[in-house]
Structure 1
Amino acid sequence: MPSLHDPVALGGVTLPNRLYRAPLLECAGNGPDTPAILRRKLEPAAASGVGLIFQGATIVRGEGGCAAPGMTRVHDPAFVSELTEVTDTIHDHGSHIFIQLEHGGLRSMETWHAGYRAEHPNLTQLAVSKPPGFLRALDRLGVFSYTPHVLSTDEVYDLAADFGRAAGHAVDAGYDGIHLAGANMGIIQQFLSPYYNRRTDEFADGFRFLETVYDEIRTHAGDVPLVTKIPAETAAPWFVRRKLSVEDGIELAKRAANLGFDALVPVEVSTFWDMSIVRGRFPARAWHLEQLEPGYEEVFGGRMRARAVEMGNRLQARRFSDAEGWNESFCRTVRAAVDVPVLMEGGVRTRPQIDRLLSSGACDMAGMARPFYAEPRLAARLLADAESAVVCASCNNCTIPQVTGADGVCRTPSVLRRRGEFEHAGAYDPK
């Protein structure tokens, strides 16, 4: 069985080890400083020895579709060509970088971000079908604001072509591969999910959209390594009757592998954008940092609504505890059913856990996301010390402020102190 230090091939790319930095929100925008921001956020992981970096969700269109403030758009080839300095930097450290492509659909900021909606009153949300009744009820109550545009068949093909063109721009800029955001309630999951997809045309089978995106990427980007998340909606609330089961997720994984995807990332998620994505403790510090509180009121449309979201975080944190490796069972089952590498993330927190996952056949690579906020050069410790564990406390003080456009960084004093101790001891120096 493989070890963490063994190389692994994803398509035509051979990675030096089996540790990867999972997608995070870099929030680098689309300005003249974007390449520098991305280098600042991504280079530490590469310099510390991580085998693969997934640059977080980037939007394939020039308008709409952003699920969080500051997400980078990759529709413009002239702009994307400037990201060559990012890919060159990663390659100089012997690492590889894939870019994650996304469109938020009904999850987009024009749905939930009051300030953004006020600035862009004419934006609609791309919808696979008419929004489910529960979301329409929240719209009537004023919790969200839906002005959905249900995609016609031709428009679905156009959206898939946008994914393909964005992939082509990225490969021209030196990205080693493409990662599709197939979960976390993005447009791809909305096509795959029976909760959202009630179409009557050829895309009633949601996999048909993923298949069309695949074909467009192959047309525009060639035989580049292609990875996608595979969702199972096991974390959906009890009242959601139509959803993707684990068995559905396994079938999707088989179809994706047979289609030609070079690797799969099975994840157990919800039908909503909730704390099933970032499981762990209630982000108490994030909600009470004085400099962020006015931002929450702008985002959610007032102090009372902001406090309602805070209470929702508190309740969901109880439901979605930070269980170790919450995607392990799903990954293990998928890996037994397909003949392409399976990547696992979600609650991976220690080197012994990684060694066990790899040696027992649960996955072919192990990834972490939030721990890289806490320790940008985390890979050096994990690769050098067989007993190492992350300092990340899964407290979500890093992620919640990002709804205001704040930087994705660790804000927990005890975690930062521990990181400082490791820095002082030289633990982040690559061995």
Structure 2
Amino acid sequence: MPPSLETLKAECHPSVVGTPRLIDDNTPDLFRPLTIRSITLRNRICVSPMCLYSTASRGPQQGVLTPLYITTIGHNVFKGAALAMLEATGVQPNGRISPHCPGLWNDTQQHALRTLADFIHSQGGLCGVQLSHAGRKASTLPPLAAARLGKSSARATVEDGGWPDDVVGPSGGLSWDGKKNDDPSGGYYVPREMSKYEIEELISNYASAAERAVDAGVDVVEIHAAHGYLIHQFLSPLTNRRSDEYGGGFENRVRLLVEVIRTVRARIPATMPVFVRISLTDWMEDTSVGRELGSWDEESTVRLATMLPALGVDLVDLSSGGNHHLARFNVFDGGEKHTAIAQRIKQALIAQGSNLLVGTVGMITQAQQARDLVQKDNQGKPGVDIVSIGRQFLRQPDWVLNAAAEIGVDVVWPAQIERIRPVPTSRI
């Protein structure tokens, strides 16, 4: 019989990796624990969901996680990250970004997620899953495959495992890059408008996927409402041209997200945290298209964020962009801007008496930078509550351990590699 998770933790990790050996008044908030409902993050550093595009596109293993996810996502937890978030995971087959993205609509996918969650727990970490529907950005090839064609994005055909006739959005006729399906230079399909029945089915599928996440042992469920994917498409007037109760004014455009949150919250334990990732702006305010149609912006984000605690949301995870090809910044290059905006939104929420936790992501590469994003300033104003790190973990899987040494925090290292632990410098 294999050893239990508890035995593995006791034998291999007598202390919790990535936590200070001593917490005192000088310990940066970045390395202090954070309790959210029934879970406690061992520090404030999380692995941002990053698409690996590495599941089978067809057959019984479609959308099923492979061991690669343990060696990548799990490795970051082994070296001290508090929470690892699995990438955008489709709640429906046509909700995947690419044919090679994970899903969570059947038992085989659920069992594979359990394997990942078990490994993360064996390393003293927490596992989250980002539930998603790509909407009009679905049925595309993985970026590496598109790059081989000399394109930044390429449509996935039926032969590629794609679903050209089942790409949906809040409104039809509006491909992400503005090109028609018969334009060979286009990288996205023109979606059809979702029916009311399909919206109701989608809400139910989000809840079912959340239940599967619970059964798989996941600790956090995050609802993906950012980066130009389906829920973001409903939120923004750029992409939502509906005339029914799911389109038009702010209250109607946020309706889908509100209903998804309510249904998910009702179907998972009260002890489980719910996060929501939002693009805090479309970066379209100063464009002619944005001035004509309106766009999702910082004010919209604050207005929505103030609604979230009453719906049972614990943390808003702030990113930006991704909803229009003419935006001033895209998902990848807006990070330097939106981390500062995230701090401003945190202060706005506090001023309104909101206890909503705030996380942010984007071009966070330096230890001092992460520390300062979380730390209270000289006037006692708190920073954001967590930072999520993506590409830097791909470059440097031991970022947590090295960051701690750089800012003078003596943290626990994995017993297996402690012999290479540097002597911490004085705090800076």
Distance 2:258 2:221 in 1: 15
**Greater Cα shift, 10-19 or 170-179:** 10-19
Aligned to 2:36: 10
Q: 1:22-421 alignment to 2 at 5 Å?
A: 22-30=48-56, 31=61, 34-61=65-92, 63-110=93-140, 113-119=154-160, 120=162, 123-132=165-174, 135-139=177-181, 141-144=183-186, 146-204=189-247, 205-223=252-270, 224-236=272-284, 238-241=287-290, 242-272=294-324, 276-279=330-333, 323=336, 326-337=338-349, 338-359=354-375, 360=377, 361-386=382-407
Residue 319 of structure 2 contacts residue 331 of structure 2 at CA under 8 Å; is this kept in 1? Answer: no
Given that 2:173 and 2:192 are in contact with CA atoms closer than 8 Å, whether structure 1 keeps it comes out as no
Cα shift readout 1:121-167 (whole Å, capped 9, x = no counterpart):
65321110124488555556443353422111221011011111011
Where do 5+ consecutive residues of structure 1 fail to align?
A: 280-319, 389-422
Deviation of 1:201 (Å)? 2.1
* Contact 1:181–1:228 (8 Å) recurs in 2: yes
The answer to whether the Cα contact below 8 Å between 2:277 and 2:317 also exists between their aligned partners in 1 is: yes
- Distance of aligned partners of 1:121 and 1:352 in 2 relative to their CA distance in 1, 3 Å threshold: closer
More helix by share: 1
Output the TM-score relative to the length of structure 2.
0.75
Deviations 1:378-401 (A, max 9, x none): 22212333079xxxxxxxxxxxxx
Supply the distance in 2 between the matched residues of 1:85 and 1:270 (Cα, whole angstroms): 31
Alignment coverage as a number of residue pairs: 353
Residues of 2 paired with 1:352 and 1:335: CA distance? 21
Following the alignment from structure 1 to structure 2, what is the Cα–Cα distance between the partners of residues 133 and 109? 12
Work out the CA distance in 2 between the residues paired with 1:429 and 1:228: 38
User: 328-337 or 166-175: which moved more?
Assistant: 328-337
Give yes or no for contact 1:189–1:231 (8 Å, CA) kept in 2.
yes
Identify which range, 330-339 or 116-125, moves more after superposition: 116-125
Are the equivalent residues in 2 in contact too, given 1:81–1:169 (CA < 8 A)? no
C-alpha distance in 2, partners of 1:161/1:95?
29
Q: Residue deviations 1:7-54, cap 9 Å, x none? A: 112232111111111111132315398341211112211111111111
| 2:51 aligned counterpart, secondary structure | coil
One-letter amino acid of the structure 1 residue matched with residue 264 of structure 2: I
Distance between the aligned counterparts of 1:387 and 1:189, measured in 2? Answer: 40
Q: Cα–Cα, structure 1 residues 222 and 202, in superposed 2: closer, same or farther, change >3 Å?
A: farther
Distance in 1 between residues matched to 2:360 and 2:254, nearest whole Å: 22
8 Å contact from structure 2 (residues 135, 169) kept in 1: yes
CA contact (8 A) 2:31 2:43 kept: yes
The one-character-per-residue Cα deviations of 1:362-389 (angstroms, maximum 9, x if unpaired) are 301112100011112222212333079x
User: One-letter code of the match for 1:250?
Assistant: V
Shift in Å, 1:209: 0.6
Aligned AA (1:327) = T
Alpha-carbon distance in 1 for matches of 2:221, 2:182: 38
1:327 and 1:382 mapped to 2: Cα distance?
Answer: 18
Which whole-Å CA distance do the structure 1 matches of 2:423 and 2:119 have between them?
A: 18
Distance 1:378-1:212 versus aligned 2 partners, 3 A rule = same
Post-superposition Cα deviations, 1:313-339, rounded to whole Å, max 9, x if no partner, equal xxxxxxx6x74x632223432443131
1:233–1:271 CA contact under 8 A, matched in 2: no
Deviation per CA, 1:237-256: give whole Å up to 9, x if none.
72322211211111111112
Write the distance in 1 (CA, Å) between the matches of 2:418 and 2:172.
55
After superposition, the C-alpha distances for 1:296-351 in whole angstroms (9 at most, x for unaligned) are xxxxxxxxxxxxxxxxxxxxxxxx6x74x632223432443131210111121211
Is residue 229–residue 323 contact of structure 2 (8 Å, CA) maintained in 1?
A: no
Cα RMSD between the aligned structures?
A: 2.9
CA contact (8 A) 2:357 2:385 kept: yes
Identity, % of aligned positions: 21
Q: Quick one: distance in 1 between partners of 2:422 and 2:399?
A: 7
CA distance in 1, matches of 2:364, 2:77: 19
